[in-house]
């Protein structure tokens, strides 16, 4: 019977945001949840057409990019952190009727309530640079960066066998050749 140990993260990842507290991310992305979310971010970024100057960008497209990034990040968070990070409340008569993670869902619900219902964005406010750093960090965590789980040496895979067979024949070369950077002894 063959056995093999696999390293699986079970502890949440924590992003500490100073006085704003912490955001907790799930230990491992499962299936294609990381790739699907990241693809949506890339599709939104493609709408910018490579433009780097904010003053030349379409504000609606920039909003779409930020919304895609925030939705992507919240999809990798624990439910408690996601609730805090991305939250759109539908308010009617001074009371919160419901809350959603996307503006579109909240707008649709408010429209169904009619009249005085409005949407209030209660998402965690973060500077752009922090949002970008979070994107980079989760990409490393879930996309194969340097922060992969480690295993003990005994759990490492063995080196592949070398092709062919080892032989005892002597080299055809009668002398040695110099290699750059080495001196003959």
Retrieve residue 84's tokens. Answer: 């805090």
Residue 150, pLDDT > 80, answer no
Task: Looking at the structure, tell me whether residues 81 and 141 fall in a common domain.
Answer: yes
Q: Sorting pLDDT into bands at 50, 70 and 90, what band is 175?
A: very low
CATH assignment of the domain containing 131: 3.30.2220
Number of residues that make up the chain:
185
Answer yes or no: are the C-beta atoms of 90 and 100 closer than 8 Å.
Answer: yes
Task: Looking at the structure, tell me whether residues 41 and 106 fall in a common domain.
Answer: no
Q: Tens digit of pLDDT for each residue in 27-63?
A: 998 888 888 889 999 998 888 887 777 778 888 888 8
What sign has the CA pseudo-torsion 99, 63, 132, 40?
positive
- 3 state DSSP class of 31: coil
Number of domains composing the chain: 2
Q: Tens digit of pLDDT for each residue in 91-126?
A: 999 999 999 999 999 999 999 998 899 999 999 999
Task: Looking at the structure, tell me whether residues 114 and 32 fall in a common domain.
Answer: no
Domain of residue 131 covers 9-85+127-149
Task: Looking at the structure, tell me whether residues 80 and 94 fall in a common domain.
Answer: no
Could you tell me if residue 176 is inside a domain? no
Could you tell me if residue 33 is inside a domain? yes
Answer yes or no: are the C-beta atoms of 111 and 105 closer than 8 Å.
Answer: no
Q: Cα 5 to the chain's mean position, in Å?
A: 26
Could you tell me if residue 41 is inside a domain? yes
Retrieve residue 17's tokens. Answer: 């945001």
Task: Looking at the structure, tell me whether residues 60 and 100 fall in a common domain.
Answer: no
Task: Looking at the structure, tell me whether residues 94 and 78 fall in a common domain.
Answer: no
Task: Looking at the structure, tell me whether residues 81 and 94 fall in a common domain.
Answer: no
Could you tell me if residue 1 is inside a domain? no
Closest CA to 33 of 134, 141, 146, 151: 141
Answer yes or no: are the C-beta atoms of 111 and 81 closer than 8 Å.
Answer: no
Task: Looking at the structure, tell me whether residues 70 and 133 fall in a common domain.
Answer: yes
Could you tell me if residue 159 is inside a domain? no
């Amino acid at each position: 019977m063959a056995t093999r140990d696999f390293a699986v993260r079970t502890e949440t990842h924590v992003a500490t945001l100073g006085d704003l507290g912490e955001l907790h991310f799930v230990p491992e992305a499962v299936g294609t949840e990381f790739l699907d979310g990241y693809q949506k971010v890339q599709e939104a970024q493609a709408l910018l057409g490579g433009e780097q100057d904010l003053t030349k960008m379409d504000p609606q497209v920039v909003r779409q990019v930020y919304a895609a990034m925030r939705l992507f990040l919240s999809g990798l968070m624990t439910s408690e952190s996601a609730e805090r990070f991305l939250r759109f409340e539908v308010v009617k008569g001074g009371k919160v009727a419901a809350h959603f993670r996307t503006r579109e869902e909240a707008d649709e619900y408010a429209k169904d309530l009619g009249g005085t219902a409005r949407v209030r964005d209660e998402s965690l406010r973060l500077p752009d640079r922090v949002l970008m750093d979070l994107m980079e960090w989760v990409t490393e965590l879930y996309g194969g960066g340097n922060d992969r789980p480690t295993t003990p040496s005994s759990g490492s895979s063995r080196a592949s066998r070398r092709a062919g067979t080892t032989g005892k024949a002597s080299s055809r070369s009668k002398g040695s050749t110099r290699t750059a950077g080495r001196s003959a002894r």
